[in-house]
A and B are shown apart, each in its own frame.
Chain A
Amino acid sequence: AQKITQTQPGMFVQEKEAVTLDCTYDTSDQSYGLFWYKQPSSGEMIFLIYQGSYDEQNATEGRYSLNFQKARKSANLVISASQLGDSAMYFCAMTSRLGTNAGKSTFGDGTTLTVKP
Chain B
Amino acid sequence: GAGVSQSPRYKVAKRGQDVALRCDPISGHVSLFWYQQALGQGPEFLTYFQNEAQLDKSGLPSDRFFAERPEGSVSTLKIQRTQQEDSAVYLCASNRGLAGGITDTQYFGPGTRLTVL
Decide yes or no whether B18 CB sits under 8 A from chain A.
no
Decide yes or no whether B84 CB sits under 8 A from chain A.
no
CB proximity to A under 8 Å, residues B18-75 = 31, 33, 35, 40-45, 48, 50, 55-56, 58-59
**Provided the pairs A52-B103, A103-B31, A107-B43 are in contact, do residues A45 and B93 lie with their beta carbons within 8 angstroms?**
yes
Decide yes or no whether A50 CB sits under 8 A from chain B.
yes
Contacts of B101 in A (CB 8 A): 97
Q: How far apart sit A107 and B91, CA to CA, in the bound complex (Å)?
A: 13
Cross-chain contact of A45 among B55, B91, B103 (Cβ < 8 A): B91
Q: Is the interface of A mostly helix, strand, loop or mixed?
A: strand
Instruction: Classify chain A: how many residues form its interface, as a range.
Output: 20 to 34
Cross-chain contact of B43 among A42, A45, A46, A102 (Cβ < 8 A): A45
A103 lies within 8 A of B102 (CB)? yes
The interface on chain B, measured as residues whose beta carbon lies within 8 A of the other chain's beta carbons, has a size of 29
Contacts of A104 in B (CB 8 A): 33, 45, 48, 56, 58-59
Contacts of B56 in A (CB 8 A): 103-104
**Provided the pairs A43-B89, A103-B48, A104-B59 are in contact, do residues A95 and B103 lie with their beta carbons within 8 angstroms?**
yes
Residue in B closest to A42 when the chains form the complex, CB atoms: B110
**Provided the pairs A97-B103, A103-B102, A105-B33 are in contact, do residues A91 and B48 lie with their beta carbons within 8 angstroms?**
no
**Distance (Å) between the CB of A49 and the closest chain B CB?**
9
**Distance (Å) between the CB of B8 and the closest chain A CB?**
14
**Distance (Å) between the CB of B109 and the closest chain A CB?**
8
A43 lies within 8 A of B43 (CB)? no
B42 lies within 8 A of A47 (CB)? no
Contacts of A91 in B (CB 8 A): 42-43
List 17 additional contacts besides A95-B102, A103-B50, A104-B59; criterion CB under 8 Å.
Answer: A4-B42, A32-B103, A35-B105, A44-B111, A45-B91, A50-B105, A52-B103, A96-B103, A97-B101, A102-B102, A103-B55, A104-B45, A105-B35, A105-B43, A105-B45, A106-B45, A107-B35
4 pairs of A and B residues whose beta carbons are closest in the complex: A33-B103, A107-B42, A45-B108, A104-B45
